[in-house]
């Protein structure tokens, strides 16, 4: 098949920190491992004081460890793990990134870390691994329209299963308003579009305060159940699959998956779609807050059944 892709990163606007470094990173590795049928796309969203270092570390380490997991399994006579068990390969690689980050002297991940969402095109299949609240979604032609097909699940305290899991590890789950005593600390009626979201807190401290329940790095959060184990989803790429999007939560904070898919479907060129989504996301951030998050988008069009990958270089600088 022919894949045509574009990427765009827009630095967040932080009026109180004008020199702040973007904490997003992304990865595109076409013909991954030298295989013309393997193509890897990933986005990382760092958090904490050393979030940029954490996302950059994960970007560099993930493809190496994913390849290592595949080679180790093949050496044992089991064939490539990417072919026989892509979910297992992703789990081994992401847990490995987490362990290496903890041990890296150049990266302080004591209270910093990163999300990671990675999409691997493997022949006629698409494997997506997710840690945190970045997201992947496909645009699928269905019932006369382009519908959003979720390729990942946000791992946040809004999810009852994730909330129960971190609580079992000793975490408290409360919004900032609950921590400050403004709201009932035992109430669980959070709404996604109202007020501060539920966060993960240590039982006896005001940390880590993450709005997600899985992460690479972040030793403090790991101590209360914020783990590096990814959720992995595999879908068969059919003629109805028109494109997929991999993006940080800077995109999805105020845009739904369907709204993002609708905007991609309006543009033939993925560069134009990247620019339109980034502009809309930026505008919505400023309508709701006095800042914006970093915004990173990868859009991959699935054009036809011919073999090849084409990069669309952004017409304008990728950072603002």
Q: How much is the mean pLDDT over the chain?
A: 92
pLDDT tops 50 at residue 206: yes
Confidence of residue 192 (pLDDT cuts 50, 70, 90): confident
- The per-residue pLDDT for 69 is 80
Mean pLDDT confidence for 103-114: 97
Whole-number Å distance between alpha carbons of 107 and 122: 32
Q: Is the pTM of this model over 0.85?
A: yes
Mean pLDDT confidence for 27-50: 95
- The per-residue pLDDT for 303 is 87
State pLDDT tens for residues 233-243. Answer: 999 999 999 99
Boundaries of every domain in the chain? 2-153+227-303, 156-211
- The per-residue pLDDT for 315 is 44
Confidence of residue 304 (pLDDT cuts 50, 70, 90): confident
- The per-residue pLDDT for 75 is 56
Mean pLDDT confidence for 189-207: 89
We find that the CATH architecture of domain 2-153+227-303 is: 4-Layer Sandwich (3.60)
Confidence of residue 317 (pLDDT cuts 50, 70, 90): very low
Confidence of residue 316 (pLDDT cuts 50, 70, 90): very low
Confidence of residue 319 (pLDDT cuts 50, 70, 90): very low
- The per-residue pLDDT for 89 is 94
Confidence of residue 122 (pLDDT cuts 50, 70, 90): very high
């Amino acid at each position: 098949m022919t894949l045509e892709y574009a990427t765009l990163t827009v630095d967040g606007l932080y009026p109180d920190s004008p020199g702040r470094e973007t904490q997003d990173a992304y990865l595109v590795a076409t013909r991954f491992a030298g295989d013309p049928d393997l193509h890897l796309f990933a986005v990382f969203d760092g958090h904490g004081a050393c979030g940029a270092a954490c996302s950059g570390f994960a970007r560099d380490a993930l493809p190496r460890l994913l390849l290592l997991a595949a080679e180790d399994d093949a050496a044992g006579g089991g064939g490539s793990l990417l072919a026989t068990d892509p979910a297992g390969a992703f789990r081994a690689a992401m847990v490995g990134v987490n362990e290496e980050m903890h041990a890296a002297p150049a990266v302080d991940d004591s209270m910093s870390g990163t999300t990671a969402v990675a999409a691997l095109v493997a022949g006629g299949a698409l494997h997506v691994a997710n840690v945190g609240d970045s997201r992947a979604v496909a645009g699928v032609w269905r019932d006369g329209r382009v519908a959003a097909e979720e390729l990942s699940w946000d791992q946040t305290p809004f999810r009852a299963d994730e909330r129960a899991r971190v609580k079992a590890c000793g975490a408290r789950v409360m919004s900032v308003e609950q921590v400050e005593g403004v709201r009932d600390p035992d109430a669980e009626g959070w709404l996604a579009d109202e007020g501060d979201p539920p966060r993960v807190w240590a039982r006896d401290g005001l940390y880590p305060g993450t709005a997600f329940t899985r992460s690479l790095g972040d030793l403090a959060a790991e101590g209360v159940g914020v783990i590096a184990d990814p959720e992995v989803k595999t879908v068969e790429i059919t003629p109805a699959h028109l494109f997929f999007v991999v993006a940080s939560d800077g995109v999805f904070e105020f845009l739904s998956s369907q709204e993002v898919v609708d905007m991609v479907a309006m543009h033939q060129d993925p560069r134009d779609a990247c620019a339109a989504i980034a502009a809309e996301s930026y505008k919505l951030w400023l309508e709701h807050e006095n800042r914006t998050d970093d915004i990173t988008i990868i859009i991959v069009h699935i054009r036809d059944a011919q073999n090849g990958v084409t990069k669309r270089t952004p017409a304008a600088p990728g950072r603002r």
